[in-house]
Amino acid sequence: MTDLMTVFSSELSNCCKIYQLGQVSYQTAWQWQRSLVEQRRHNPELEDLLLLLEHPPVYTLGQGADKKFLKFDPAHSPYELHRIERGGEVTYHCPGQLVVYPILNLRRYRPDLHWYLRQLEEVIIQTLTIYGLQGDRIPGLTGVWINNTKIAAIGIKVSRWITFHGFALNVCPDLEGFKRIVPCGITDKPVGRLIDFVPNLTVEPVRQSVVAAFTDVFKVDCILEKLEENPVLCSSI
């Protein structure tokens, strides 16, 4: 496994700083993303970032998501729920699920949303390959499946070609929370997790595999940074 403390390839043209953030509340991570994107809207020359973390249990609705896919009353619910600016329907985050938020200036790559979504899928597919698993795309849908079981959800927002939100890869989460929604509004395909295919797998090695795959797919130098070196990320700790 590649050591994340290593700069992956000094010959690559773009640099991306990696932050491994552990478990972070959804509200905090959401604020981080909005602040980081706002900085880059005003200064597009700022470096690209990749935030890798886990969330405590939380439900999120895309900006146009339909509440009919909730199996609970959001007005009288004990569950944390946020409507956010990403695309897509309702999804669920919890520990054991690796959440990845790329903050990228797509002008450095290709200013094309469909291309970007396919690249994120490719990062997930290459990650699965490391564990001997075949990830599949399904025409007309966004995400990655194994044997028709959805293993990763993708929901993004782009502002002046700066990306935020991203994807969630189910490594070893408790799937009980998914029973309270129709995940991504898809009624005929179950949600799965990697541990069902690779016993005893944990988030830590998958985190490293995702960074390696991201480096390969986006052709970037990835450098692991310390949390205290980014004042935006430190501000809400």
- Domain 14-234 in CATH 3.30.70.2190? The answer is no
CA end-to-end span of the chain: 30
| Catalytic site includes residue 94 | no
The CA distance from 52 to 56, in Å, is 14
Residue 13 confidence (pLDDT): 59
| Higher per-residue pLDDT: 219 or 10 | 219
DSSP code of 212?
A: H
Label residue 12 by pLDDT band (50, 70, 90).
very low
What tokens were used for 16? 């991306």
Kindly tell me if the per-residue pLDDT of 5 is higher than 50: no
Bridge partners of 59? Answer: 81, 92
Interval 62-79 mean pLDDT: 93
Residue type, 113: L
- Catalytic site residue from 16, 94, 172, 184: 184
Token pair, residue 101, equals 């938020």
- The size of the chain, in residues, is 237
Look up residue 185 and give its DSSP letter. Answer: G
Over residues 51-61, mean pLDDT: 97
* pLDDT of 188 strictly over 80: yes
Q: What confidence score (pLDDT) does residue 226 get?
A: 83
pLDDT of 136-166, one tens digit each? Answer: 999 999 999 999 999 999 999 999 999 999 9
**Closest by Cα among 176, 156, 152 to 166:** 156
Give the start-to-end residue ranges of the domains of the chain: 14-234
Mean pLDDT of 69-82: 93
CB 162 within 8 A of CB 104: yes
**What whole-number distance in Å separates Cα of residue 177 and Cα of residue 211?**
27
Cβ atoms of residues 197 and 172 within 8 Å: no
pLDDT above 70: percentage of residues in the chain: 93
> Over the stretch 112-142, which tens digit does the pLDDT of each residue have?
999 999 999 999 999 999 999 999 999 999 9
